[in-house]
Structures are given as C-alpha cells and as structure tokens.
C-alpha cells in the first residue's frame, strides 16, 4: 500500500541478517556414526503438493496480481479524482513550513491509502489465511497489527519523505542519483533499529524455553563464527501456523530469532540446519552485499521514475493541478509509477535473492553436514506453509525470493563434497 516506501525498502523484504566478522579456521564437523552416515545417503523424496496447497498456489496468482494492480490503481484514483491537490491545498492553508506540509500530506495520504486498500487487505491477509488454516489470529489482533504497520509507515514516510522531494526541487535533473546514494545509509539505519524498535511492536520476544536446544544453537553459532549472539523465541502460534527463523541485527542488536511454531513442528536437528542457513546469511555478509546491490537497483528505479514522471507531468501536470515533481500532491503519481517500476525490477532483485539463499543452503550443509535433516526440514516447512515444491517457471522468475523447495531438497540430497575429500567452499569462515 505504501509504494514509495516499498520501492525504497524493497531490499528489506529480502534481507534477513546483518554481517558479522568472520574468523579464519579449518574446523571440521563432528564425525558421524556409521548408521548416521547410512541415513545421510538415503535421498529424501520431494513431497507431492496436497490439494489444498495446489488451490492455495493457484488462487495466490490472482491475489498477487490484484495486489499489484491495487498498488497502482489506488494512488492513481487519489490523483485523478483531485483528492491529492485538494488535500495539499488544505494543509497549506494551515501550515507554511514546506517540510511540514510534505510530512502532513504523507501522513494523510497513507491513511487514506490504507483505508481504501483495507477491504482487499482484509480478504488476503485475514479471510484467505483462515480459510486455508494458515492463521489463528483474531480479527482484533489482525487489525491492531495492520494499524501498527500503518503507523510505522507513516512515521518513516513523514519523517523522511521531505528529503527526496527537496532533492527533486534542488536537483531536478539528478535527484534520482542523489536519492539512490541515500539508500545505503537509510536502509542501514532501518536494519539497525528494526530488531529493537520496530519488531517488538508486533512480536513478543522472550528467552528460549528449551535450554538444551538453545545451548546447541549457540554452539553452532560459535562454530559458524558468530560470537555474543542471543537467542530469542517469538510467540507466533497464537496468530499463525507458519514457521520462520532468522538471524538479524549487528553490534548490540545482534540476535537469533525462532518462532515457536518452528520449534514445535521441526525436530531439534532440523532446527539446527535451519539456523545454519540463517547464520550463513550473517557470516557471508549478505546484508552488506545486498544493500549495495539493491541500492544500485533502486537508483535505476529512481531514474526510470524520474523519466516517466517528467513525461506525465509535461503532458498532464497542469490538468491534474500539480506544480511539478516536488509538489507533495505529486506523490500519488510517483507512487503509481513506482509500482510499475518495482514490478519491472523485481525479476532482477528476486534472482539475486535466490542466489544468496542457495549459498546459505550450501553454508548450512557444510556447517552441519546433515543432508537428511536439511532436506526433511524443507519438506516439513513445505507442508506447514502449504507450498508447491516445483512452481511454474514464471512464478520463480517473477515472484520467488528463494529457490523452489524441490530444487532445495535435490541440492540437499546431492551436495556432500566432504565424502570425496573435496574442499568446502565456506570452511574458511567457520569459527575455531
């Protein structure tokens, strides 16, 4: 619903951890017993999708297409109806300080956008999830979480939106380049404060209840070269049946996070492999690399936004009552165009994300050498999340930030260079 914020923060939907300092080591995994080695060599079959999973997958295409269309149609409606210009004029009658005018317009616009999009959000995020047994959340809890998300978006947007609008005003030909350069510190700041200020608004973080498993996770983290991390368990079972885990933050905000749903549905060995994957993101500096790559993509996106907005304003700006691209009332135009630009750039962003996810899978296997546990973890999560193991090629290309589950299980079954005495790609990163 917040397309400009979504464009600037496109990387945040794909980044899962902050980088840690890696340590040189030649440490090896603990040797397996003969029966464990035999089990590791037995391939895990890729599960067939259930009828419910197939329905969820197929209807999801329409939900996805509708969300894209709505993200463009709502700002276009607000713009062409004259609401944007009228709202800006009313704010200017009460406030003369231009950055404050921009901030108040952003707050009012996002609230209006949220209200117009609420029926679809209710269907996609509440009704549909309950229909497929994916959610346990009450309507009151869902509305509260959605409202909190709106509040965070308004706070971020109202606080920062004046800066790109100011750059548009001062650098009308090169604002896109300057705004792209600001993405690096802006995304870095959000990633730093998100674990301690934003995430706790909707999630309840507590110490792990399974002390023995916590000890094993911390030992695995130390072996992965991550020191000083804390493990948190999030109570998500009251809201969802999905599973998730991640490593996030850096410095004083570094933390390992597991949903209680994952702990309930996966075995301890499977949990350790999942955590090895998340630790791989952390150790391989995927966030630092991702910030650079996504900032470059965003800069290209801002250039496309600049060219398209200029063409529309030259042709229809006066009729729409817009004074130029830096006019706060032009924000809906920028957001509608940003939705198109984001759609055009998503295949490149998704391809980069899938590569990082694949390398994190490799890291987890080299760290744990538990091929069987890794493949079974993916199979379990596939069933829990109503996934389809081998989606259509266009879905992978356009929408998938991770390799298909079928592809990941195949990789888990086949990748075991240690059995042939081959060097491990990431062993140098393991802690002592």
Tens of pLDDT along the chain (432 residues)?
344 444 444 444 334 333 322 222 323 344 445 555 566 678 899 999 999 999 999 999 999 999 999 999 999 999 999 999 999 999 999 998 989 999 999 999 999 999 999 999 999 999 999 999 999 999 999 999 999 999 999 998 888 888 888 899 999 999 999 999 998 888 888 888 888 888 888 888 888 889 999 999 989 988 888 877 788 999 998 888 888 888 776 566 777 889 999 999 999 999 999 999 989 998 898 888 988 999 999 999 999 999 999 999 999 888 888 988 899 999 999 999 999 999 999 999 999 999 999 999 999 999 999 999 999 999 999 988 999 999 999 999 999 999 999 999 999 999 999 988 899 999 998 875
Tell me what pLDDT residue 251 has.
60
**Is the distance from CB of 340 to CB of 117 less than 8 angstroms?**
no
Parallel/antiparallel/unpaired status of strands 205-207 and 230-234: antiparallel
Confidence (pTM): 0.87
Count how many residues are written for the chain.
432
Tell me what pLDDT residue 22 has.
29
Catalytic member of 24, 145, 222, 278 = 278
Q: Is-catalytic flag, 278?
A: yes
Tell me what pLDDT residue 35 has.
59
Tell me what pLDDT residue 432 has.
59
């Amino acid at each position: 619903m917040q397309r400009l914020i979504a464009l600037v923060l496109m990387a945040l939907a794909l980044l899962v951890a902050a980088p840690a300092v890696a340590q040189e080591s030649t440490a090896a995994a603990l040797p397996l017993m003969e029966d464990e080695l035999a089990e590791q060599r037995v391939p895990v079959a890729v599960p067939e999708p259930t009828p419910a999973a197939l329905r969820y997958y197929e209807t999801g295409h329409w939900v996805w297409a509708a969300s894209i269309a709505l993200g463009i149609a709502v700002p276009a409606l607000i713009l062409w109806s004259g609401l944007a210009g009228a709202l800006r004029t009313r704010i200017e009658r009460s406030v003369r300080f231009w950055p404050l005018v921009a901030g108040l317009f952003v707050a009012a616009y996002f609230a209006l956008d949220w209200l117009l999009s609420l029926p679809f959000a209710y269907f996609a995020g509440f009704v549909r999830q309950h229909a497929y047994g994916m959610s346990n959340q009450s309507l009151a809890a869902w509305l509260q979480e959605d409202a909190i998300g709106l509040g965070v978006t308004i706070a971020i947007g109202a606080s920062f939106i004046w800066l790109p609008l100011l750059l548009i005003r001062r650098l009308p030909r090169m604002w896109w380049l300057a705004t792209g350069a600001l993405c690096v510190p802006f995304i870095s700041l959000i990633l730093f404060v998100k674990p301690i200020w934003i995430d706790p608004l909707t999630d309840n973080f507590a110490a792990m209840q399974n002390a023995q498993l916590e000890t094993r996770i911390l030992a695995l983290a130390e072996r992965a070269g991550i020191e000083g991390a804390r493990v948190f368990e999030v109570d998500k079972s009251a809201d969802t049946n999905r599973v998730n885990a991640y490593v996030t933050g850096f410095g004083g905000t570094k933390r390992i996070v597991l949903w209680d749903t994952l702990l309930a549905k996966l075995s301890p060995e499977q949990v350790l492999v999942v955590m090895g994957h998340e630790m791989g993101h952390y150790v391989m500096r995927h966030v630092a690399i991702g910030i650079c790559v996504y900032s470059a993509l965003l800069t290209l996106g801002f250039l496309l936004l600049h060219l398209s907005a200029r063409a529309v304003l030259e042709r229809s700006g006066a009729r729409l009552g817009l004074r130029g691209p830096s006019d706060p009332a032009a924000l809906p135009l920028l957001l509608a165009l940003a939705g198109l630009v984001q759609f055009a750039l998503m295949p490149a962003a998704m391809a980069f994300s899938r590569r990082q996810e694949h390398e994190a899978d490799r890291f987890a296997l080299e760290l744990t050498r538990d091929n069987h546990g890794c493949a079974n973890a993916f199979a379990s999560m596939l069933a829990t999340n109503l996934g389809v193991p081998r989606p259509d090629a266009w879905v992978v290309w356009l929408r998938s930030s991770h390799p298909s589950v079928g592809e990941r299980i195949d990789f888990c079954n086949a990748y075991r260079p240690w059995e042939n005495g081959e060097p491990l790609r990431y062993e140098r990163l393991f802690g002592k």
